[in-house]
């Protein structure tokens, strides 16, 4: 191997904006195209809103206006406004901001002065306007480069206005999905009771904090007892049990939604079990106490330690909260308040006990079935027979480095073979179905273990004990775009929603959008996802084109698949509507076979309305 020259000429110094644009993942996590709720474009929106929230928390301004139209994002708060002489520095000089002064921002979302600088650097257009006591300062940037400044007088109310357009050179083929923005803004409302957030003209407002969150996330008819909710200055929690499978948590630190949980969430789970055991004087299995729980916890603390710049997981257990460890602080608060509640509310205590005892019976009934099923899964040699895994799982990479992993669930040897040959073997896996899955609507969880396809799929995803060890961030249903493919898709979604609803709620389940047509001539090829796109492609080729209608995934060659499952892959997230319970959704699509339902499914090859696959 020839020697590679290495001298002073190889050493480069990048300024702040060049470094952010070259290594955006260091500042906002993965870039993505907007199909996942943790994609970079949502982090940009969040970074701007976070600053406005901090103003509200400090007692300045009770309204924030947010607008997202196409790709233009604007946020206007009515806080104090950035000091006019520092407007440019605050959005363009790294390690510059008011949050280093703990007197001004004691328990803010972020303290490292990076947020709006990253938004600025990663936007093709960025505008900031600050208004303070009748005077204003406006600055405009492109890709972090200052283009213009303006000072003047104004009769506007105090506050800060920011407008930006994420750079499509950084965020390829991106789009904002309204439901993700809805959830983001609702979380801000729940965590900041009394704050009005206006998003595209609609008011998001919460009076009861996390109690309102749990009310929206659960169905009143399936709750086993009324929502339990407690709140003080620096901690708030709520919980309820219903009839769904698994555990469902929403955890927050200083207003930040910690999607991956962390110290505070684990401390809450442990405190819950400890308190319940002591109250009933019974050594319940933790699984039985927490089965079917939907809970939320929020804490505020100075200088929290997160595991990444995107702040999705609270860090080490030695982090302190006012002299106590986070674990001790949460344990004391939960124990005191939950124990008092159960003593004072005997009916709720009785109903909670019945829910725990039911979970205990179900777990014991399942023990033998699970043991046999696990043995069968090993004999089936999962990794050779059904699953073609990705190499990242055979390395010593940390779990955080597995965020880009994807598993394609396919039906049929042709489609499975094409995707397997075309995939990125480092991060993309393929699971092959054999025929149509069982309609599991209304069945007990025993069927997950008794049915070979479901049992092996569960093992492939590693979700038997919850999502903490989920092996793939994206679980992609890859079926044909016809009635049979739609039926398989519905059967798979029924399986996930029935037994692993958190997988859908947390945004992991996606639909692979593949082209319906190929339009080409000797020089150009267009892949079209609709009749409208096909007609536009024909016009571009001046009507002289060869048109191919793909009838199934098996007809698409591996070489062509490389385009559809690579950088330009189109993934459509599956989302449940908060206005409908999962039981209602499943009973409509997979329950009693009615003419109305048949007509709806045939006429709509995507799930719309109650079960939304956002197009």
Tens digit of each residue's pLDDT (9 = 90 or more) over 276-329? 999 999 999 999 999 999 999 999 887 777 776 556 777 755 556 566 788 899
Q: Which numeric CATH code is attached to 16-204?
A: 3.30.565.10
What are 450's two structure tokens?
């008794």
Crossing angle of the two packed helices 595-603 and 582-590, in degrees rounded to 10:
90
The lowest-confidence range among 74-83, 139-148, 549-558 is: 549-558
What is the pLDDT averaged over residues 454-475? 87
Give, in order, the Cα–Cα distances in Å from 539 to each of 236, 519, 524, 535. 59, 10, 13, 6
pLDDT band of residue 392 (cuts 50, 70, 90) is confident
Residues 37-58: tens digit of each pLDDT: 888 999 999 999 999 998 998 8
Residues 111-126: tens digit of each pLDDT: 445 689 999 999 999 9
What are 179's two structure tokens?
């439901």
**Do 406 and 427 touch, CB atoms closer than 8 A?**
yes
| Contacts for 476 with CB less than 8 Å, ≥ 6 apart | 406, 407, 408, 409, 509, 510, 511, 512, 571
b/e per residue, 434-463, with b = 16+ CB within 10 A? eeebbbbbebebebbbbbebbbbbbbbbeb
Highest mean pLDDT: which of 90-94, 114-118, 509-513, 596-600? 509-513
Residues 241-254: tens digit of each pLDDT: 998 888 889 999 88
Mean pLDDT taken over the chain: 84
Q: Inform me whether the pLDDT recorded for 103 exceeds 50.
A: no
Q: Inform me whether the pLDDT recorded for 182 exceeds 80.
A: yes
* Helix or strand holding residue 612 (H, E): strand 611-613
Half-sphere exposure of 528 (CA within 13 A, CB side): 22
Give, in order, the Cα–Cα distances in Å from 455 to each of 79, 230, 393, 449, 511. 54, 39, 20, 5, 21
Residues 331-355: tens digit of each pLDDT: 999 999 999 999 999 999 999 999 9
Predicted local confidence at residue 609, as pLDDT: 40
Predicted local confidence at residue 607, as pLDDT: 42
Task: Please state whether the predicted TM-score (pTM) of the whole model is above 0.85.
Answer: no
For the domain made up of 210-362, give the CATH fold: Ribosomal Protein S5; domain 2 (3.30.230)
Closest Cα to residue 173, out of 72, 74, 71, 75?
A: 71
What are 313's two structure tokens?
């997981």
Highest mean pLDDT: which of 80-89, 389-398, 405-414, 577-586? 80-89
What is the pLDDT averaged over residues 486-508? 88
Q: Inform me whether the pLDDT recorded for 437 exceeds 80.
A: yes
Predicted local confidence at residue 163, as pLDDT: 98
Domain boundary assignment for the chain: 16-204, 210-362, 380-514+550-613
What are 128's two structure tokens?
């900031």
Predicted local confidence at residue 418, as pLDDT: 83
Q: Which numeric CATH code is attached to 380-514+550-613?
A: 3.40.50.670
């Amino acid at each position: 191997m020839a020697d590679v020259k290495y001298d002073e000429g190889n050493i480069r110094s990048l300024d702040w904006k060049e470094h952010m644009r070259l290594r955006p993942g260091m500042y906002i996590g993965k870039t993505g195209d907007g199909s996942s709720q943790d994609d970079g474009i949502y982090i940009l929106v969040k970074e701007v809103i976070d600053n406005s929230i901090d103003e509200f928390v400090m007692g300045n301004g009770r309204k924030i206006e947010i607008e997202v139209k196409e790709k233009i994002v604007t946020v206007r708060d009515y806080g104090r406004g950035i000091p006019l002489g520092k407007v440019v520095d605050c959005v363009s000089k790294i390690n510059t901001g008011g949050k280093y002064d703990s007197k001004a921002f004691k328990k803010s979302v972020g303290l490292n002065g990076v947020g709006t600088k990253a938004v600025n650097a990663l936007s093709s257009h960025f505008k900031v306007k600050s208004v303070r006591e009748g005077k204003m300062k406006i600055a405009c940037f492109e890709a972090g480069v200052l283009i213009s400044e303006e000072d003047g007088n104004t009769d506007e109310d105090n506050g800060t206005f920011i407008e930006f357009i994420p750079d499509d050179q950084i965020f390829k083929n991106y789009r904002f999905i309204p439901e993700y923005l809805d959830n983001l803004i609702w979380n801000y409302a729940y965590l900041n009771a009394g704050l009005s957030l206006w998003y595209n003209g609609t008011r998001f407002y919460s009076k009861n904090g996390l109690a309102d969150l749990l009310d929206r996330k659960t169905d009143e008819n399936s709750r086993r007892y009324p929502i339990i909710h407690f709140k003080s200055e620096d901690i708030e929690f709520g919980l309820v049990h219903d009839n769904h499978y698994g555990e469902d948590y929403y955890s927050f630190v200083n207003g930040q939604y910690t999607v991956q949980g962390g110290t505070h969430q684990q401390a809450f789970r442990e405190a819950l079990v400890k308190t319940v055991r002591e109250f009933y004087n019974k050594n319940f299995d933790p699984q039985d106490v927490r089965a079917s729980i939907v809970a939320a916890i929020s804490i505020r603390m100075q200088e929290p330690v997160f595991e990444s710049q995107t702040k999705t997981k609270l860090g080490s257990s030695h982090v302190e909260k006012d002299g106590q460890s986070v674990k001790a602080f949460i344990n004391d608060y939960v124990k005191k308040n939950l124990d008092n509640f159960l003593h004072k509310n005997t009916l709720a205590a009785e109903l909670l006990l019945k829910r725990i005892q039911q979970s205990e019976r179900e777990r014991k009934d399942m023990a033998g079935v699970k043991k046999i099923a696990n043995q069968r899964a090993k004999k089936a040699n999962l990794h050779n027979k059904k699953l073609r895994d990705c190499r990242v799982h055979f390395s010593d990479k940390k779990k955080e480095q597995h965020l880009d992993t994807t598993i394609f669930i396919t039906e049929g040897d042709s489609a499975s073979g094409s995707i397997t040959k075309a995939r990125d073997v480092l991060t993309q896996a393929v699971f092959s179905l054999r025929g149509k899955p069982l309609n599991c609507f209304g069945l007990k969880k025993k069927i997950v273990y008794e049915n070979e396809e479901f049992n092996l799929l569960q093992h492939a995803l590693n979700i038997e004990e919850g999502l903490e060890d989920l092996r793939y961030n994206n679980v992609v249903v890859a079926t044909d775009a016809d009635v049979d493919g739609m039926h398989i898709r519905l059967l798979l979604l029924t399986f996930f929603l029935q037994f692993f609803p958190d997988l859908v709620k947390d945004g992991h389940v996606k639909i692979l959008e593949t082209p319906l047509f190929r339009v080409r001539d000797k020089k150009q090829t267009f892949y079209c996802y609709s009749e409208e796109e096909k007609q536009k492609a024909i016009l571009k080729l001046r009507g002289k084109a060869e048109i191919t209608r793909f009838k199934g995934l098996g007809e698409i060659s591996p070489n062509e698949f490389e385009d559809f499952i690579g950088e330009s892959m189109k993934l459509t997230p599956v989302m449940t509507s908060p206005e409908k319970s999962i039981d209602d959704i499943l009973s409509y699509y997979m329950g009693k076979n009615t003419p109305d339902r048949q007509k709806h499914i045939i006429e709509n090859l995507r799930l719309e309305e109650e079960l939304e696959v956002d197009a």
